[in-house]
Amino acid sequence: MTEATLIRVVTDEVMQTLTHQELVKQIFAYFWQRGIVDGTIRRTIMGVNKYNEMRQSLRKPRRGNDLPVIIETVQSGDNLQAILAELTQLVDDRGQITTVQGQTGSDIEMDDTAAYYDVKLFTREDNKHFAPDHYTKIVAHLQAMHVRWVSVTRGIAGYDDGRHVHEETAAHKSSHLPIVIETVVDRASLQAVLATFKPLSEDGLLFTVPVALVNGPY
């Protein structure tokens, strides 16, 4: 178990910095240079930007839609405040930055007051426990455990703990894109779900945080 912080940035895909560089690429490069592992970028299909304008995927190429993107990474070092200060300076008012305090790994200390937990696995398509482009086995296993509201999303770019950057372009199809599997489980199911995710986290990172389930029961 390691205490860690999930850093989440939401911005527009073609948003530029004051020096006319693409903000998404600058944020991603900053995370990489800082040595923060398992960064992912996911493109949304619809959203509202800082100017209160609705954006949705209507035309190609996708970049022409200027859709919101979500950039996430997990930081477990002692320099979190310095990173957030530098990231805030880089993003300024061109995006939204949030943090969530949690734990990494499959052996965690449970909060005595928490009844539910959000479990999030950051991994890649080429995880040795996946068949190519096929996540049915792990999702079916969670289903057999009566875990509900499981989501599997694919990123458009990411990098691993070896700091290798993977992204898909019009000219290149990558088989190493990031995959995020996420679900909320009750306290009684948590350890079994973490044990299920543990082999997959050998090629990724497992992040768990207590949450409040508003419309229970689970």
* 178 vs 157 pLDDT, higher one: 178
- Structural domains in the chain, CATH included, are 2-102 (3.30.70.120), 104-211 (3.30.70.120)
- For residue 118, which of 197, 12, 37 has the smallest C-alpha distance? 197
Over range 195-204, report the average pLDDT.
88
Tell whether the model's pLDDT for residue 69 goes beyond 60. yes
Higher pLDDT, 135 or 83: 83
SS (H, E, C) 148-176: CCCEEEECCEEECCCCCEEECECCECCCC
Question: What confidence category does residue 185 fall into, taking pLDDT thresholds of 50, 70 and 90?
Answer: very high
Q: pLDDT at position 66, please? A: 74
C-beta of residue 166 within 8 angstroms of C-beta of residue 213: no
Query: Given this model, what pLDDT does residue 215 score?
Result: 83
Backbone angles phi, psi at 85, to 5 degrees: -65, -45
pLDDT at site 162:
59
DSSP-derived 3-state class of residue 58: coil
Sheet strands (E) in 13-52: 40-43, 46-48
Model's pTM, two decimal places? 0.82
